[in-house]
């Protein structure tokens, strides 16, 4: 099968290349596509150097599946062109809420791959992807009524430049030098910023609204959700604190069993010093890790938990490749 990756030189594009290589995905020809600035450079795949092609001139008829990881504006312009010849798997937010475009996490709603109308499949927000993979097995058993989400999101979720800015600001702070912010609304080094994406209605940010709407579309529109999204000074991996209220009663043993047996999830919850997972340990791992599982003693049929996942993998590249695998399997 011929595969193309638009945005191959970016954070997520490079991770898609890594995932395809590690999974030994069956590929006849692989095309790296990017802007004219990157065209002509070379990337490696399985030890072979492949030249990056210019997006403006790329012939999408050469690919059966095309991954888009170059931002919403690029997807808006070029994904419909690619979709005339190829199945498009889009990592941007542009098509996620389009009713004619399935929004897919294969472990949760692979059945929606049978509803493809525009030859485009959307990949959810990175924070949504790790959230729904946890909620799905619990919803199946206990009927989720409401979820309160607080996220602690790494700078890689905003791109390479914000990651570089975190490193630069950290150095300046340690040297007691003046810090200015280009990619954040406040200093990110040694700080936490309760603001991701633009502000929208009622004081929420677009990131918070995306999490709510995407979860409803993927899992169940009857579930009530509210979110607060925070950027923290970490390079890779997003963490989330979840308060989950169920319609049915539960035991913690059943909760742990359901999560530990769920595809893509791993429970590490030893209830001792260090008996949980943090963003540093989740980096480079495929699993979504769950820790600190406990009853909420202030509300009936409710639990609290902590989860962490590599946002460049589960939240982007890994999920995109798993969508491709599920699509091929369901054809």
pLDDT tens digits, one per residue of 29-74: 999 999 999 999 999 999 999 999 999 999 999 999 999 999 999 9
- Give yes or no for a contact between 98 and 206, defined as CB atoms under 8 angstroms apart: no
> Could you write out the three-class secondary structure of 121-178?
EECCCHHHHHHHHHHHHHHHHHCEEEEEEEEEECHHHHCHHHHHHHHHHHHHHHCCCC
Residue located via tokens 């937010």:
93
Average pLDDT over residues 206-233: 98
Contact call for residues 224 and 146 (beta carbons, < 8 A): yes
* Per-residue pLDDT at 241: 98
Going along the chain from its start, the domains and CATH numbers come out as: 2-124+316-330 (3.40.50.720), 128-311 (3.30.360.10)
Q: Which of 94, 126, 229, 265 is catalytic?
A: 126
Tens of pLDDT, residues 117-172: 999 999 999 999 999 999 999 999 999 999 999 999 999 999 999 999 999 999 99
Give me the pLDDT at residue 224, please. 98
In the annotation, is 94 catalytic? Answer: no
Spatial CA neighbour of 202 closest among 230, 239, 227, 231: 227
Known active-site residue 126: yes
What is the pLDDT at residue 227?
98
What pLDDT was estimated at residue 182? 97
Catalytic residue, chosen from 94, 139, 229, 238, is 238
> DSSP strand E in the chain: where?
2-6, 29-34, 42-45, 48-54, 65-68, 87-90, 120-122, 144-153, 224-231, 238-246, 265-267, 288-295, 302-309
**Inter-axis angle of helices 318-330 and 11-22, to 10 degrees?**
50
Is there a contact between 86 and 66 (Cβ–Cβ < 8 Å)?
A: yes
Report whether pLDDT(330) > 90: no
Nearest alpha-carbon partner for 151 in 229, 214, 233, 213: 229
Look up the pTM and report it: 0.95
Rounded CA-CA distance 131/242 in Å is 9
Torsion sign over Cα 210, 310, 13, 197: positive
Which candidate, 91, 142, 159, 174, places its Cα nearest to that of 253? 142
Reported as a pLDDT band with limits 50, 70 and 90, residue 331 is: confident
């Amino acid at each position: 099968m011929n595969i193309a990756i638009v945005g191959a030189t970016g954070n997520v594009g490079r991770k898609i290349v890594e995932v395809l290589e590690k999974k030994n995905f069956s590929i006849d020809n692989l095309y790296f596509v990017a802007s004219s600035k990157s065209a002509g450079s070379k990337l490696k795949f399985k030890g072979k150097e492949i030249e990056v092609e210019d997006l403006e001139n790329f012939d999408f008829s050469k690919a059966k599946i095309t991954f888009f990881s170059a931002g919403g504006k690029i997807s808006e312009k070029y994904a419909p062109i690619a979709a005339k010849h190829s199945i498009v798997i889009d990592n941007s937010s542009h098509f996620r809420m389009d009713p004619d475009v399935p929004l897919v996490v294969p472990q949760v709603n692979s059945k929606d791959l049978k509803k493809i109308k525009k030859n485009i499949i959307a990949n959810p927000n990175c924070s949504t992807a790790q959230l729904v993979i946890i909620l799905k097995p619990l919803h199946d058993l206990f009927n989720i009524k409401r979820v309160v989400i607080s996220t602690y999101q790494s700078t890689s979720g905003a791109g390479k430049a914000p990651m570089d800015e975190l490193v630069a600001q950290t150095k300046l702070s340690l040297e007691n030098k003046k810090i200015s912010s280009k990619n954040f609304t406040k200093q990110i080094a040694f700080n936490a910023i309760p603001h991701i994406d633009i502000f929208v209605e009622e004081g929420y940010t677009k990131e918070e609204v995306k999490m709510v709407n995407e979860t409803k579309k993927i899992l169940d529109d009857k579930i009530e959700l509210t979110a607060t999204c925070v950027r923290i000074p970490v390079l890779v991996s997003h963490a989330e604190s979840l308060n989950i209220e169920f319609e049915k009663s539960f035991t913690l043993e059943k909760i742990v069993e359901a999560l530990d047996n769920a595809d893509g999830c791993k429970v590490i919850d030893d209830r001792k010093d260090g008996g949980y997972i943090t963003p540093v340990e989740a980096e480079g791992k495929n699993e979504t890790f769950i820790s600190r599982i406990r009853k909420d003693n202030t509300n009936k049929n409710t639990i609290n938990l902590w989860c962490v996942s590599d946002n460049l993998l589960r939240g982007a590249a890994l999920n995109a490749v798993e969508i491709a695998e599920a699509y091929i399997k369901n054809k």
